[in-house]
Structure 1
Amino acid sequence: MRFPRIKPEHAPHRLDDGTIRLGGAMYGIASEIRDTDGWAWSALALMDGTRPPTAIAAELCAAFATLTPDDAHGIVTTLLSSGHVEDAVPAPCAELSEREQERYRRNREFFRWVDLTPREHGWEPQVRLKSARVLVLGLGGTGSHAAWSLAAAGVGRLHLVDPDVVELSNLNRQILYTEADVGRPKTEAALERLRRVNSDIEITGEQAAVDGPEHLARLVGGFHALALCADRPREPYGIQTWANRVCAAAGIPWVSGGYNGPLVSVGVFGPGGPCFECVRAGIPPQPGDGYAWPGVTGASAGLSGQLVAHDVLTLVTGLARTPPGYFHGLTLLDPDAHVYARYPARNECEICC
């Protein structure tokens, strides 16, 4: 890092006991530093983007007579590796064109905020998105929002699969379609719309219903992640179970989302965490499990789809802070009822063992 500075969103705050807080606890990326001697606080003040690390260490030594050069170097190195610091003069990014950098610059601002890995130029997560291949299965309320968000974010290749045609009753929540699309295959209308959203990526599709795990295995081949937004056939032993087993065999992560009235929930699964069947086994049965409750608005469908897209993005960029193997979400009528469920792998599970 040539000219380090504290990321503006991570501005440090010092408590009365000398503890330094960086990142903001409410964002889930906070760090605390015990700094009774004031060395770290002084080093952070020097990280204003005008000095190289060697100069910061030298000025730190000059300010504190008891601080050795090795200790000063260690303090600076630790802060540089914390993820709360960036280069004021980032290296150029050869992998993205000027057009792509203009299109995705707001993505970059988000990623550099939440990314605690030191980077050369901050575009590294976007470069991963550009090379990513994601399969979106289901283009209804959840899937239409997820597909739009993934396309807009710059996923390099999307493949869309859905068996249905657009119906008038879909239009209260399915963002990709208009009245003129009623009667058209959803994949056809979605491809047309999304290619107009982002012509810089590859988007393909097919009108098909997944009829078994073998079919799903053929579909996921060559993809980096699955966004499962279809709900047929239903559990038990339905399409989520198929995805659990097929994606485990392929070694790829998958995200599944949906809604039951005001309850919006998303599951995140993949290598490194307990599988869907283990986590699902630990959740007590809920009213409406296994049924297609018709109550949904554009807002509730949109939340489920956007959460699916967000989780897919964190997985393919490597920015996921929680290992796979959990459900999360919210209940729209109760702001205190945050959904989070994670259960350990069962001893007899052939997928997790």
Structure 2
Amino acid sequence: MPHVFFLLSDLDYTGAAKQGSLLAPGLARAGWSATVFSLAGNGPFTDTLRDAGVPVLTSTARHAFKWLGLRWIVPPPDRGVVHAFGLPALRRLWGGTLGRARPKVVVSLTGREHLTRFDRRVLRLPSRVLVPHGTAAGALVAQGVPASQMTVVPPAVGEAPPAPDRATFIRTHGLAPDASLVVSVGRMDRRRALLASLCAFEFVRYTDPAVRLLLIGDGPGREAMEQTARGIAPEGSRATFLGARPDATAILGLADVVVVTHPAGGANVTLEAMAAARPVVAVRTPDLAPLVQDGWTGILAEAGYAPGIAGALRKLLLDPGRRHDLGEAAAQVVREHHAVGTLVRTLETVYRE
């Protein structure tokens, strides 16, 4: 049985951890022996992986032990493939296995990395660098990574889970029965990925008294975001902060529109909304533009321009038929190009090269 060893920086609510939680079980179903190792201990996806029968190894040790511990865990050259997610994981793999025979290594990068001289040296280790789109490949090639080393592997998304009962959800969160729900999901950190969603919503809420914004996510920037919401609408904000939710993907199924305004990243929530046949308004960034075909599977708006995002959102809220058509087209594209099984077959080809 072929073996793949996934090496991740963490199992928190991150894009890499989400992809690992989908692809490792998918490879196991395809006949691979898959193991996941998290360098930062357990996280929200630990149980997801273990429930799928994927062994999860973790480390909470600091400094040298975390690096050297990989020497005893990483499989030997004849026993499988190591798939590292991100430069931090690849650096630790390089340091932890220095001086010993290494197995085949591939690494997934975003294309947003700023490579140091040391990073370029570390990137000699993997036989393949996997990137989510052509723009990411171009960004790395411009920093000296050989184009021949690149393979484009789009992100995967699982099947949409059933949405919660709408009436119960509305009642639990004190929303009006006829509320239109706009949902935005993201980590609330210093990048302030959800701030543009909040600002755009403020344009819309004055023209539609029934609309409500649900913000899902947590992080060190949450308190500042809540203060911003109160400052923008001192008479009473219609934005509800739900915090980090393990059922965030299911909640997307209740949305009338999903807004994705991440300045970087955001692919997972975009694909999850599309899989649930929800219409998406996303900002035009290198990470999101390849996923949303403007006017067919969603609407693209200019990043950082709240009035433009608000205009697209307002038009969709007024047009249920348009929302339905966009959502159905999006779900079809996801089934054809981003299903876990499809991406597992792509990875199998890469691993066996």
TM-score interval w.r.t. the shorter chain?
under 0.3
Q: Between Structure 1 and Structure 2, whose CA radius of gyration is higher?
A: 1
